[in-house]
Structure 1
Amino acid sequence: MMTPLVAGMFALALVAPGEGIIGGREAAPHSRPYMASIQAVEGDGAKHECGGFAVAERWVVTAVHCLPTGANGRKVVLGAHSLTQAEDTKQTFDILELHNHPHFDPDNYNNDIALIKLDRPFNATEAVGTAAFLRAGATEPGVGAEVETAGWGSTDNLGSRPDTLKEAVMGVLSSARCRRSDYFGRKFTDNMICAHKLCSEPCDGPHKIEDTCDGDSGGPLLYNGVVVGITSNGGKKCGQIKKPGIYTTISHYTQWMDQVMGLQPASVIITHHNP
């Protein structure tokens, strides 16, 4: 499935490549106002590297492996649908602070969560807003639950990138399956969710898999409209049956997030319990 998205030349020597969406579809413009594009400045322009999602007016969640050596001048763009077209909905920010989880493990991507503090609050509009996310103690989506994700990542293993936001619907797989030696083995931890498209066996055709890929890292995995995971990593190729996407379980980190953001839980996060 996907490989993690890395940021910067130095990171490329340390971290395998990133995440993107295989087999998905274009999202309705600005239907996901929490989506963020993390971009590296290149000359007079910028290049999308990773995804993220806004959780408060100055805070965006992403993955540690997206910025392992620091912000290094990167920008955060909110309100985008097209990466290249001029859109009056876009708001661009400098990164004031980057908080990578202190226990991130580059060997297996355990604790792959980071918080970005924007240089100023965003202006809330129909195209820019926050995502609710699951807090500690809430019910996680079960095996087979339908989840969805979005991003500007690669659409195939050749690295083809879309210009507009794509989205995909997938199904949660059991942790026991993802711990099997022919899947991820011991690299799959209790802080991870694995998912890919629900499909009928043998489910081995190129169009039967929906998956994240290079460039989707840091984006959200949602269940019933609430973020339950952060796109992290997977296999060296996207869309493989035995290398589904791996997502960091966000509810395991809400105490750390509250501490970093310096906000009371009820003031910024919606607690979601499944019926």
Structure 2
Amino acid sequence: MVSEKEIIVAAAVFVVALISQGEGIMGGREAAPHSRPYMASIQVPEGEHMKHVCGGFVVADQWVMTAAHCQPNGQDGRKVVLGVHSLSEPEETKQTFEILEFHTHPNFDLSNYDNDIALIKLDRPFVASEAVKAVGFLRAGGTNPTTDEEVETAGWGALDNLGRRPDKLRELFVDVFSPDECGDSDHFGSKFTSNMMCAHRVCPKPCTKPFRKEDTCDGDSGGPLLYNSTVVGITSNGGKKCGQLRKPGIYTIVSHYTEWIDNTMTPQPAAEESS
């Protein structure tokens, strides 16, 4: 005879399995190895190993763009790894860097994640290869995607709200969500600003039921949102739980920061000494 305890345990296992199956980067698929050579993994020490905490993407030979909230308490031994597909397996393509400089946008607001953009200067230029390349980003005056247009992102973020993490890079195709709806009281309200765009996928095209919502999740922060192979957004924030219907992923609109990006990445001339 099956005991009451065994029934409870079996039911709990079933619920966990049910949650885990449909909520992955949430949804998405494993990317082809090194098919996104601009991807960066920002990692922190954990015992004798390094742990992935945020994503980023290469924009110049010594620069990686990410989210400002990925660096809340200083560098803390953080490193940046490029040319990576598997976080655990040895790969000859991997290049690991110290962080020489971390530039957070001066108007970053932790209360609502407005201006959630940062630039990392690596301790040396990367060695270009098929596995490590810079990606272009949309500049001021460029055309951002509009409501219902398809965009794409990638990362090593959580697969579900249980905190399961993938070892290999995953990619996701989502749809831009109406900014008017994203900013209404049923969604993000006043937290949502003109520097942000929302995106998720409630049902793929063509839509076949049943379907669980697809979205970015914890650990995907700092990764790129691309439209026509150009970065238009940075994975920023969403709800307290991933995959909530009324809490699409929020992305920082990169084209709003062209002047700040250029000024940060361009060496400033040394001041002339007065005679």
TM-score w.r.t. length of structure 1: 0.85
Deviations, residues 187-232 of structure 1 (Å, cap 9, x unaligned) = 000000100015279x9x8843110001000000000110000000
1:114 partner letter: A
Please tell me whether the aligned partners of residues 203 and 211 of structure 2 are also in contact (alpha carbons under 8 angstroms): no
Cα deviation for residue 73 of structure 1 reads 1.3
Bigger mean CA deviation after superposition, 67-76 or 96-105: 67-76
Cα deviation for residue 43 of structure 1 reads 2.9
1:209 to 213, 216, 221: 213
Q: Which runs of 5+ in 1 are unaligned?
A: 1-19, 265-275
Deviations, residues 73-129 of structure 1 (Å, cap 9, x unaligned) = 100000000000000000000000000011000110000000000000000000001
Please state if 1:133 is matched with 2:137.
Answer: yes
2:92 to 88, 97, 101: 88
> What is the distance in 1 between the residues matched to 2:60 and 2:35?
18
Please tell me whether the aligned partners of residues 151 and 219 of structure 1 are also in contact (alpha carbons under 8 angstroms): yes
Name the SS of the counterpart of 1:222 in structure 2.
strand
1:223 corresponds in structure 2 to 227
Q: How many pairs were matched up?
A: 244
Cα deviation for residue 21 of structure 1 reads 1.1
Larger radius of gyration: 2
Name the SS of the counterpart of 1:65 in structure 2.
helix
Equivalent residues in 2 for 1:5-16, closer than 5 Å: none
Please tell me whether the aligned partners of residues 202 and 245 of structure 2 are also in contact (alpha carbons under 8 angstroms): no
Please provide the CA RMSD for this pair.
1.9
TM-score w.r.t. length of structure 2: 0.85
Please tell me whether the aligned partners of residues 147 and 172 of structure 1 are also in contact (alpha carbons under 8 angstroms): yes
- Percent sequence identity over aligned pairs: 67
> What is the distance in 2 between the residues matched to 1:109 and 1:162?
25
Q: Which runs of 5+ in 2 are unaligned?
A: 1-23, 269-275
Equivalent residues in 2 for 1:2-151, closer than 5 Å: 21-151=25-155
